[in-house]
Amino acid sequence: MRSGEGPAPNGVGAVVGRAGAVVNLTVHGIGPRPGRALDPGEDGTWVDVDRFERVLDAVAGRPEVRLTFDDGNASDLEIALPRLLARGLTAEFYVLAGRLGEPGRLTADGVRELAKSGMSIGSHGWAHRDWRRLTSAQVGEELVHAHRVLEDITGEPVTRVAVPFGSYDRHVLRRLQRAAVDRVYTSDGGPSRPDAWLQPRTSLRHDLDDAWIARVLAPPAPALRLRRTAARLVKRFRGR
């Protein structure tokens, strides 16, 4: 959670252009490539430190922009945390509970350190699986066991998830409702209502520049907004 769910300072809320809308950003890995093979698609979202700092500088003082981090990379602690704290920012970290302690990933101590520093911890599942294609044993691992492991580490309930690969359909959403999750982050892009159960996010890209930042943080054109809403509705009801 960012500090900014209360009233926005002077006119800041107006930047997004829709009363009360928020923009959720997703950060994956930052800085030098880790000592592990990257997962499919990860290369396109891994950002260098300079680009990451440019995003943080643009977000500072913008309480209507929220930062989330996926995958539990070691860079969450080593690179992101000190730079967030230096700017007075908080963020939500969506950790892969079954990957803790692997090369290039957060350890349990690292997760605890993030939580102690005022960051919130949520689940990105157990093993970075596509939640549309789980066996029943895997459902337990991804949506129950992963939460318990993270709760044991932080002492706090896990109430939010970030869907791996942004892959969901109505079955996934029904399972998440049953798991008593109170916020689900996707990767659908575009602004969100601040309290919605299902919230789109926009991922940082490896080649982002100032124009990208300005576009993502700017008010959406109405036509684009409608297209995104339509795409989300399709995903929400897909699945037999």
Strand partners of residue 184: 161, 198
Binding to Zn ion by residue 142, rule CB under 5 A? Answer: no
3-state helix, strand, coil split of the chain in percent (to 5) is 40, 15, 45
Q: Which is nearer to Zn ion, 122 or 220 (CB)?
A: 122
Query: Cα 199 to chain center, whole Å?
Result: 10
Distance CA 80, CA 212 (A): 20
Q: Which is nearer to Zn ion, 153 or 163 (CB)?
A: 163
CB of 164 to Zn ion, least distance (A): 5
Q: Total number of residues binding Zn ion (CB under 5 A)?
A: 3
CB of 63 to Zn ion, least distance (A): 26
Which range touches Zn ion (CB under 5 A), out of 7-15, 72-80, 162-170, 194-202? 162-170
Strand 183-185 relative to strand 202-203: parallel, antiparallel, unpaired? unpaired
Binding to Zn ion by residue 71, rule CB under 5 A? Answer: yes
Which of residues 70, 76, 142, 188 is near Zn ion by CB under 5 A? 70
Contacts with Zn ion, 163-192, as mask; x by CB under 5 A: -x----------------------------
Are 119 and 93 in contact by the 8 Å Cβ rule? The answer is yes
In order of 99, 125, 232, the CA distances from 96 in angstroms are 6, 5, 25
Binding to Zn ion by residue 92, rule CB under 5 A? Answer: no
Which range touches Zn ion (CB under 5 A), out of 12-20, 98-106, 156-164, 194-202? 156-164
Torsion of CA 107, 75, 156, 86, to 10 degrees: 130
* Residues within the interface to Zn ion (CB under 5 A): 70-71, 164
